[in-house]
Amino acid sequence: MPFYSKRDLEFQLFENLQILELTQLNYFEDHSNETFHMVLEAAEKIAENSLHPLLTEMDRNEPQLVNGKIQVHKGMKKIIQQFGADGWINATFPYVEGGQQLPNTLHMAAGFIFQAANYSASVYPFLTTGAANLIRTFGGKNLIDKFTPNMYSGKWQGTMALTEPDAGSSLSDLSTMAIPTEIEGVYKIKGQKIYISCGDHDACENIIHLMLARIKGAPVGVKGISLFIVPQKRVPDGRPNDVLTEGIYHKMGYKGAPIAHLMIGSNDACEGFLVGEANKGLAYMFQMMNEARVGVGMNAAAIGTAAYYASLAYAKERPQGRKIGDKDPSQPQIPIIQHADVKRMLLFQKSITEGALSLLLYCSKLGDIAHVGDGKEKEEAFLLLDFLTPIAKSYPSEMCCLTTSTAVQVLGGAGYTTDFPVEQYYREARIHPIHEGTTGIHGMDLLGRKATMQEGKALKLFVREISKTILQAKDMPAITSHGEKLEKYLQRAQQTVGYLFTKAGKNPEAYLADATLFLEYTGILTIAWQWLKQGITVQKQLDKGVAETSFYQGKIICLRYFFEYELVKMDGLGKRLMAADMPTLDMQDDWF
Amino acid sequence: MPFYSKRDLEFQLFENLQILELTQLNYFEDHSNETFHMVLEAAEKIAENSLHPLLTEMDRNEPQLVNGKIQVHKGMKKIIQQFGADGWINATFPYVEGGQQLPNTLHMAAGFIFQAANYSASVYPFLTTGAANLIRTFGGKNLIDKFTPNMYSGKWQGTMALTEPDAGSSLSDLSTMAIPTEIEGVYKIKGQKIYISCGDHDACENIIHLMLARIKGAPVGVKGISLFIVPQKRVPDGRPNDVLTEGIYHKMGYKGAPIAHLMIGSNDACEGFLVGEANKGLAYMFQMMNEARVGVGMNAAAIGTAAYYASLAYAKERPQGRKIGDKDPSQPQIPIIQHADVKRMLLFQKSITEGALSLLLYCSKLGDIAHVGDGKEKEEAFLLLDFLTPIAKSYPSEMCCLTTSTAVQVLGGAGYTTDFPVEQYYREARIHPIHEGTTGIHGMDLLGRKATMQEGKALKLFVREISKTILQAKDMPAITSHGEKLEKYLQRAQQTVGYLFTKAGKNPEAYLADATLFLEYTGILTIAWQWLKQGITVQKQLDKGVAETSFYQGKIICLRYFFEYELVKMDGLGKRLMAADMPTLDMQDDWF
């Protein structure tokens, strides 16, 4: 059963996003249409041959903590080694570090394929990439040499160790302690970390934690947080480093990836290595976090895509019922895809997942330009990406809980059983609105920080880019009306933001009380914009009279669907955002 | 941890719904305030002492098919026997049949407590009640005497056996065959049934299937469907009746209740007993189905309620973060319930679950009046209930998928783990938009049948009842504005229906294409109406200057919340329903 559409991914990258433009940047100059396609084909191969076959098995045989060690599915070791051997873990890093200078956009596209095939399995190597990236970006040469080669090869696992029992959304409260030793850069670490993805397992020989801790005497709050490398086993001799696995979390979904509860330095024998400067840990982490957050959006879109294709395959094959007005029970039943309501459920999934994918790849491209581009283009890409990040993280995360639910609904009773994969996708999708910052946190980030930073410069860029797309669409007769419609919604959105800003100074709590709704509102606008972009790309092809019309026709219907069924949701949200009544502020704790 | 609110349930029944009015009907004349409270207290006792303690266990140890027999949790036998011994299974039936003539409304309220405590466990006795009700209503005295006593006592399980591999939503296609024997009323049954809840298990001594089948030579389609009693073991001698358990479905949630795949008459040795007249099976079933459908809505509301209280308890205890504008990390963290966004998530859950409960109890009361009332009141109650049934089934079912999701979100990472019950509620809630007719089926039922039946008489009744509530509210200064707002939405809804009706004759497919959206649209209006009703009840108390204000204040905030955050969703839905563009009809199968 297909778990993604190669045709759509190629459309998104090569036709809609014009990914080949990136090869004009020096860093990517060796790349070409050919290398990009090779990367995608290689990704598809691993996904089909190694990842997807374990999808169900890994869900049914979840990791277990046995004698202080987490045991994961036996197949993971080979998969991680293959990721290492094929160069996926450090694919985007410079040649001089053994990487391939692959655009992050391509890495994300490959990740999309992996995640759609088997989200749990994809987690391991992607975490290592993120952790290694922190070391190579902020660590000194000795740390890079000591840790990264075995991470790149897949021999060692990398993690991000942030959360503590008292510090989840509120990282400023973290209390893991780092005490200087006589060796410069080496600290004794003591504390505990919870919810650490891949925090311990037996598919790698060592676990390298990128851990936030507070150097003794450091300022309270976020200004006193430093970043450390804390290996599970000491390097190079492999002795234990006093990082004990206290527990494993059993969870609703993506059961194949273990989540650990770690005790660090319980015997005062844990050593950690300061990365970069003291007290800059959170800043370092956040520079990487943007990528991780776009990555979470991608995970969600990938799971949503896999569920969409599972439900599409079922809808094409399952006969049930007859057309409205044709109830003759002696006639054969029709495949359910022919019912308008089933088409609606499929179009909902298609419009959300392809709209989200479009945004996520667009953000990835901005990330590449922000990373290795030049001048004003680089600066603007950075700013726009910063603005879009909470949307790119949250819109797919929230909406793919709904699209996977719709996939279950297409299958009906069958979808609720473990005989089909959609119930697993439904459970797996649910993590994304939570990790890497909850939706509520991202709402406050968007309205409280991103919308106002640099005197609204990022917001203005966002509006400018949407306006460009609107202008283009209005020039194309077949989609003029969609351009005009989006223009109206954009204007209304600007009024809404203007109104909210008037609250900001007077009453910050009221200003931010509905930040989550504002995030949803802006998310819908953003995805409508992405659909209009796709519509322009498609309409150009149709206007040329291309032979392959069914794919493009499907896109145009999807554009219409999104504008008819999703964009209109801004009406109610907008009305609420402009309203004066604030029941959530008036509600008292003891009235519940 | 509390899984429901006794205070709210009592408010709903005694203050808002004026349930005691029912004691004026002859059938209920022996009941009183006292007996009703006794019933609720007894229900709470079983729920707390017997059902809730097994909630997690039953999820972790799901039923297994061993040597052709389904084995369920060992505790179920005692629970079912207790339900039998305490008279719950036939509580609503007449005294002459051993029942207590309890209003269905009270039985539903008790069911709400059971379902909130442990949905899986509650399924068994409620299915038996439904099956026994079919026998006693449509069966002859010999069938009643033969089967019902052991069902009432909890010795035997009752089921509804409708679905077949080729007949799920399309019941007209069912093909299980019934061949007459020389004994009148006795048939040889042959076929297979899938997804049969409690279709086999070892907590009862026999399983009594109320099964739809087609008598040989009967007309095709729904007009040739008859209703049979098909026991698993013959009565009275207990020999096998050739009903074999072919399989068990493993499913995402409510794992404690087994769902079976049954082969009937594989050895030509299955006998079934015709209930009532031949070819009237579907009509019989549907007379019972309305109750079952309101029951499903109740299940959903109950699970949503349990999740709400679990997340509320967590929000009150979990310290994380600080107030906006008070970021001093040296100050202690505050309980998350103090964050506006968490309050929003709690109010969302509270407004949906309490709004749904209000509607469901209202429908149950209509059911009681329709059942044992008189004259015009009875007739109108029947008609209004018929109209409201698809809403009462679907609104809570769809929305409690979202409220349980929100409960998970309140807990964050903790909510995604099996350490807390909210992930289980999330999985359990997902069945309800599927069983007893999918949401899509109910959308078509509401728009295609209920809105137009008897020349729109039911629809007019619905509008009349809402208008009454609006008039009352407009007379009360504190909630006048809410009355006026609902009036505007009601007027717009009438215009929307009018517009849709113009499509009905011309293009039935276009008319019904967005029936699911129409159901959602009408559902929001209906729950807003229920909140306005509650608001009136509460405001009367507040105007009197009652001492207990916190409960009532919470209700008023919730009314405001629903109008501010939920009612406005009708704007976008209404716009869509009035639109001419029909992408779901234009989409071709091969364009996906």
- Provide the shortest C-alpha distance from residue A493 to chain B (in Å): 15
Which letter does DSSP use for residue A480 in this model? Answer: H
| Domain co-membership, A566 together with A449 | yes
Give yes or no for B60 touching A (CB within 8 A): no
A431 assigned to some structural domain: no
Same domain, B190 and B64: no
Contact predicate B98/B152, CB 8 Å: yes
A591 and B409 within 8 Å at the Cβ level: the answer is: no
Q: Which residues of A touch B560 (CB under 8 A)?
A: 581, 583, 586
* Tens digits of residue pLDDT in B513-559: 999 999 999 999 999 999 999 999 999 999 999 888 999 999 999 99
CA distance A517 to A420: 34
Q: Name which of B293, B372, B388 is nearest B102 in CA terms.
A: B372
Backbone angles phi, psi at A116, to 5 degrees: -65, -30
CA distance A264 to A489: 52
**pLDDT 10s digits, B248-276:** 999 999 999 999 999 999 999 999 999 99
- pLDDT (0 to 100) of residue A1: 79
pLDDT band with cut points at 50, 70 and 90 for residue A154:
very high
pLDDT value at residue A328: 87
Report whether pLDDT(A209) > 90.
yes
Does the residue A200 lie in any domain?
A: yes
Average pLDDT over residues B102-122: 98
pLDDT at B347 over 90: yes
Can you read off the two tokens belonging to residue B301? 């509301």
* A560 closest CB neighbour out of B350, B583, B592: B583
Q: What pLDDT does B520 receive?
A: 98
If asked whether residues B43 and B121 sit together in one domain, one would say yes
Is the minimum CB–CB distance between A333 and chain B shorter than 8 Å? yes
Nearest 5 degrees, angle CA B415-CA B356-CA B523? 110
Give dist(CA A137, CA A148) in Å, integer: 11
Q: Smallest Cβ distance to A195: which of B328, B413, B553?
A: B413
pLDDT for res B169: 85
- Element spanning A179, H or E: strand A177-180
The average pLDDT across A104-127 equals 98
Beta strands in A255-301 (DSSP E): 259-264, 271-274
Domain annotation covers residue B316:
no
pLDDT at B226 over 90: yes
Q: Is residue A571 domain-shared with residue A453, that is, in the same domain?
A: yes
B515 touches chain A (CB under 8 A): yes
Of A284-288, A527-531, B332-336, B497-501, the least confident: A284-288
Are A434 and B417 a contacting pair at CB < 8 A?
no
Determine the Cα–Cα distance for residues B279 and A461; give it in Å rounded to an integer: 68
Distance CA A62, CA A293 (A): 25
Q: pLDDT tens digits for B57-77? A: 999 999 999 999 999 999 999
Q: How far is CA B246 from CA A109, B458, B514, in A?
A: 44, 44, 38
pLDDT tens for residues B395-420?
999 999 999 999 999 999 999 999 99
User: Which of the four pLDDT bands, split at 50, 70 and 90, describes residue A286?
Assistant: confident
Q: How close does chain B come to A390, measured CA to CA in Å?
A: 16
- For residue A575, what is the nearest residue in chain B, using CA coordinates? B568
For A550-566, the pLDDT digits (tens) are 999 999 999 999 999 99
Indicate whether B433 belongs to any domain: no
pLDDT at position A291 over 90? no
- Segment B448-489, tens digit of pLDDT: 999 999 999 999 999 999 999 999 999 999 999 999 999 999
- Cβ–Cβ gap A550/B591 under 8 Å: yes
- Whether A583 sits inside 8 A of B576 (CB atoms) is no
Range of the domain at A83: 16-62+72-152
Range B277-294 average pLDDT: 90
Q: Which of A394, A122, A388, A426 is nearest to A304 (CA)?
A: A426
Give residues 74 to 113 of B whose Cβ lies within 8 Å of A. Answer: none
Our CA angle for B74, B76, B81, nearest 5°, is 125
Residue in the block written with tokens 């001492």: B547
For chain A, what is the mean pLDDT? 97
**Residues of chain A with C-beta less than 8 angstroms from the C-beta of B253:** 416
Same domain, B211 and B231: yes
Each residue of A261-270: pLDDT tens digit?
999 999 999 9
Q: Report whether pLDDT(A290) > 90.
A: no
**CATH code: domain of residue B98:** 1.10.540.10
Query: Rounded distance, CA B199 to CA B245, Å?
Result: 8
Q: Distance from B142 to chain A by nearest Cα, in Å?
A: 34
- In a shared domain, residues A459 and A567: yes
Residues A493, A574: contact at Cβ < 8 Å?
Answer: yes
CB < 8 Å to A508, chain B:
324-325
Q: Over range B370-383, report the average pLDDT.
A: 97
Using alpha carbons only, what angle is made at residue A55 by residues A54 and A56, rounded to the nearest 5 degrees? 95
Q: Do A145 and A44 fall within a single domain?
A: yes
CB contact under 8 A, B341 and A253: no
Interface contact A512, partner B, CB < 8 A: yes
For residue B71, give the amino acid letter.
Q
Instruction: Say whether both A20 and A123 belong to one domain.
Output: yes
Q: Once rounded to an integer, what is the mean pLDDT over residues A3-14? A: 98
Catalytic member of B436, B484, B509, B564 = B436
For chain B, the first-to-last Cα distance in angstroms comes to: 47
Q: CA of A209 to nearest chain B CA: how many angstroms apart?
A: 20
Instruction: Please tell me the distance in Å from B532's CA to the nearest CA on chain A.
Output: 16
Q: Do B252 and A319 touch (CB under 8 A)?
A: no
Residue range B33-52, pLDDT digits in tens: 999 999 999 999 999 999 99
In a shared domain, residues A113 and A214:
no
Q: Give the pLDDT of residue B276.
A: 98
- Cβ contacts of A573 on chain B, cutoff 8 Å: 568
Mean pLDDT of B126-140: 96
Q: Would you say residue B359 lies in a domain?
A: no
Handedness of CA B148, B149, B153, B157 (dihedral sign): negative
| Count of other CB atoms within 10 angstroms of residue A272 | 28
pLDDT higher than threshold 90 for residue B301: yes
Pick the residue from chain A with its C-alpha nearest to B354: A592
* Residue whose token pair is 């309205």: A447
User: Rounded to 5, what percent of chain A is helix, strand, coil?
Assistant: 60, 10, 25
A418 to chain B: which residues are within 8 Å by CB?
Answer: 249-252
B420 falls within a domain: no
Question: Looking at this protein, which amino acid is placed at residue B583?
Answer: P
CA-closest candidate to residue B404, choices B335, B309, B531, B336: B309
For residue range A378-403, list pLDDT tens digits in order: 999 999 999 999 999 999 999 999 99
Cβ contacts of A401 on chain B, cutoff 8 Å: 405
In the prediction, which pLDDT does B187 show? 98
Task: Find out whether A379 and A371 touch, Cβ atoms under 8 Å.
Answer: no
User: Are B576 and A565 inside 8 Å of each other by CB?
Assistant: yes
- Contact at CB, A252 and B333, closer than 8 angstroms: no
Closest Cα in chain A, distance from residue B401 (Å): 9
Residue B37 has a pLDDT of 98
Pairing of strands A259-264, A186-197: antiparallel
Q: What is the mean pLDDT of residues B307-332?
A: 93
Nearest CA in chain B to A320: B170
Indicate the residue among B279, B298, B315 that finishes a domain: B279
Distance CA A84, CA A74 (A): 17
The CATH number given to whatever domain includes residue B215 is 2.40.110.20
Q: Do A340 and B509 touch (CB under 8 A)?
A: yes
Report CB contact under 8 Å: A321, B195.
no
Residue A321 lies in a domain: no
Interface check A222 vs B, CB under 8 A? yes
pLDDT band at A40 (very low <50, low <70, confident <90, very high): very high
In chain B, residues 167-186 whose CB comes closer than 8 Å to chain A: 168-170, 172-173
Residues B310-328, mean pLDDT to the nearest whole number: 93
Share of residues in chain A with pLDDT > 90 (%): 95
Query: Using CA atoms in the order B176, B180, B185, B189, what is the torsion angle rounded to 10 degrees?
Result: -30
- Contact A437/B at CB under 8 A: no
Where a domain ends, among A152, A176, A209? A152
Locate A460 and state its tokens: 């203005």
Backbone angles phi, psi at A154, to 5 degrees: 85, 5
Residues A557 and A462 in one domain: yes
**Quick one: closest CA in A to B344, which residue?**
A584
User: Within this chain, do residues B172 and B240 fall inside the same structural domain, yes or no?
Assistant: yes
8 Å CB contact of B169 and A591? no
Q: Which is nearest to A56 in space by CA: A590, A541, A419?
A: A419
Q: Check whether residue A162 and residue A221 sit in a common domain.
A: yes
Chain B residue whose CA is closest to A319: B166
**Weakest-pLDDT range from A437-441, A487-491, B290-294:** B290-294
Cα torsion B140, B146, B149, B155: sign: negative
Q: Is the pLDDT of residue B168 over 90?
A: no
- Count of the separate structural domains present in chain A: 3
- Is residue B428 part of the annotated active site? The answer reads no
Q: Residue A514: CB partners within 8 Å, gap ≥ 6? A: A576, A577, A584, B344
Distance CA B373, CA B213 (A): 33
Q: How many CB atoms lie within 10 A of CB A136?
A: 20
ipTM over 0.95: yes
Best residue in B338, B341, B519, B577 for a mutation probing chain A (most A CBs within 10 Å):
B341
Cβ distance B295 to B212 under 8 Å? no
Query: Nearest CA to CA, how far is A435 from chain B (Å)?
Result: 7
Residue A325: its pLDDT value, please? 82
- Closest Cα of chain A to B550: distance in Å? 5
Q: With 90 as the cut, is the pLDDT of residue A330 above it?
A: no
8 Å CB contact of B423 and A252 = yes
Helix, coil or strand: residue B171 = helix
Out of A271, A436, A520, A566, which one is annotated catalytic? Answer: A436
Cβ contacts from A onto B, under 8 A: 282
Is B2 in CB contact (< 8 Å) with chain A? no
Last residue of a domain, one of B111, B137, B152: B152
CB A198 within 8 A of CB A207: yes
Task: Please judge whether B516 and A344 are an interchain contact, meaning their C-beta atoms are less than 8 angstroms apart.
Answer: yes
Q: Does some domain include residue B577?
A: yes
Does the CB of A145 have a partner CB in chain B at under 8 Å? no
